[in-house]
Amino acid sequence: MRRLLIALAVTAALAACHKEEKKPEARGPVEVTAMKVVPRDTPVSFEFVGQTQSSRQVQIMARVNGFLDKRVYTEGTLVKAGDVMFLQDPKPFQVQVEAAKAALAEQQARLQVARDNLARVKPLVARNALSKKDLDDATGAELAAAAAVDVAKANLAQAKLNLSYTRITTPVTGIASFARVQDGQYVNAADAQLTYVAQMDPIWVNFSISENEQLAARGDEAKGQLKLPADRKYIVELVLADGTTYPHKGVIDFANADFNQKTGTFDLRATLPNPRAVLRPGQFVRVRVTGLVRPDAILVPQQAVLQGAQGHFVVVVDKEEKAQIRPVQVGPWYGDDWFVLGGLAAGDVVVTDGMVRLAPGVPVKVVAAHENRPAAEGKAPSAPPQPAAK
């Protein structure tokens, strides 16, 4: 019995020794998806919230006092420059025209008498039959009569002008608003706003950029990370409320010289064609500014960039096909990708899928390549352009 117990103990010890000497099986390489870094010039766009505005909104006012006979136009419709919108009662002004004509005829008759009198006085003075004072009086009377004729002509022109003002027209082509006065109402030229006409083509879009965004853009340009158009002509696209893109493009043609202290922004304005009046004043739209390029930009998918206690990092595959941690400096987003401003170079292989199974030094097998194609409508939420003021 004792020998049996000793034999069992020795067998157990040998088995234990055998387990301690057994080495763990080597793990195979972890299969991942990766991409090769290829820097390329990447067009970028920036989005802002904007509001549309009529490029020319004209208040239609009464220019003479009187009763309003009729509203001619249809509210809310397109009117063309020169179209009649309101008619005032013309009869009082027609009477003034006739009175001014009569006054002009009277002054013209007096002028003729003064000229005839001067023509008779001149030869008599030459023969010393009349004094020079008589000549001066006749000359003065002729000049006064001529001046009176000029005054009468001016009064007639003013009377005709007032008569023409009874036909109230629009100086611009646009959409007419509702009438603020009714037919038969007495209107006063001092404060009689009848309606307004808003020009729709072209349309303005106002938006703004913050001081921090402008400084960021200047910093990126100074570092060579952002290239602005040589002529500072930025192309503007609009994204409407339903997510569709407005078919016509425009340009930024105005930048306010003053900094808006109330909002902490710089105010900009873009002008776009609006031939079918699709856009109306007061609409909120997303303004997409294009025409900028990030030269030799490095883009990696957003899921490839991780964040730890020390900042952002990616997992790269080294020359020995092992995983390594690489700290990176990231920039703005670009569609589904992320700009990497530092930490990566051309030719680096970045793991885009399967990072959770990796650790530094773990063998890696790339089984699929991630296609990193620049998005046509990529956007970045920071570092906007700096259009030149005009």
Tell me the HSE value of 113 on the side-chain side, using a 13 A CA sphere: 10
Averaged over 361-378, what is the pLDDT?
A: 71
Q: Which amino acid is at 190?
A: A
Position 299 pLDDT exceeds 60: yes
Q: Give the residue from 116, 148, 165 where a domain finishes.
A: 165
Confidence of residue 373 (pLDDT cuts 50, 70, 90): low
> ω before 202 within 30° of 0 (cis)?
yes
In a domain, 336, yes or no: yes
In a domain, 112, yes or no: yes
Looking at residue 178, its pLDDT comes to: 94
Task: Identify the three-state secondary structure at position 241.
Answer: coil
Query: What is the total count of domains within the chain?
Result: 2
At 346, list the tokens: 């051309």
Q: 232 and 367 share a domain?
A: yes
Position 42 pLDDT exceeds 70: yes
Strand ranges across the sheet with 186-187? 167-169, 84-88, 66-71, 186-187
Cβ neighbours of residue 87 closer than 8 Å, sequence gap 6 or more: 68, 69, 70, 72, 166, 167, 168
Contact 172, 109 (CB under 8 A): no
Question: How far apart are the C-alpha atoms of 160 and 94, rounded to whole Å?
Answer: 8
In a domain, 99, yes or no: yes
Question: How far apart are the C-alpha atoms of 236 and 384, rounded to whole Å?
Answer: 13
Task: Out of 98-107, 186-195, 367-376, pick the least confident.
Answer: 367-376
Q: Which residue has the higher pLDDT, 191 or 131?
A: 131
DSSP assignment letter at 170: -
**Tokens 């249809």 correspond to what residue?**
74
The residue range of the domain holding 119 is 90-165
Averaged over 152-175, what is the pLDDT?
A: 96
Averaged over 288-311, what is the pLDDT?
A: 91
Domain containing 133 — which CATH number?
A: 1.10.287.470
Looking at residue 10, its pLDDT comes to: 32
Residue 119 dihedral angles phi and psi, to the nearest 5°: -65, -30
% residues pLDDT > 90 (the chain): 62
Looking at residue 143, its pLDDT comes to: 96
In a domain, 246, yes or no: yes
Question: How far apart are the C-alpha atoms of 274 and 343, rounded to whole Å?
Answer: 46
Tens digit of each residue's pLDDT (9 = 90 or more) over 114-149:
999 999 999 988 888 888 998 899 999 999 999 999
Q: Which amino acid is at 143?
A: L
Q: Which residue has the higher pLDDT, 261 or 97?
A: 97
If you average pLDDT over every residue of the chain, what do you get? 86
Tens digit of each residue's pLDDT (9 = 90 or more) over 267-286:
999 999 999 999 999 999 99
Domain containing 376 — which CATH number?
A: 2.40.30.170
Q: 35 and 94 share a domain?
A: no
Question: How far apart are the C-alpha atoms of 255 and 266, rounded to whole Å?
Answer: 8
In a domain, 22, yes or no: no
Put simply, whether the predicted model's pTM sits higher than 0.85 gets the answer no
Q: Which residue has the higher pLDDT, 247 or 387?
A: 247
Q: 233 and 370 share a domain?
A: yes
Kindly report the CA angle at 140 between 138 and 146, in degrees rounded to 5? 105
Q: Which residue has the higher pLDDT, 56 or 386?
A: 56
In a domain, 107, yes or no: yes
Q: Which residue has the higher pLDDT, 26 or 350?
A: 350
In a domain, 308, yes or no: yes
Q: Give the residue from 115, 144, 165 where a domain finishes.
A: 165
Position 361 pLDDT exceeds 80: yes
In a domain, 32, yes or no: yes
Confidence of residue 166 (pLDDT cuts 50, 70, 90): very high
CB count in 10 Å sphere of residue 12: 10
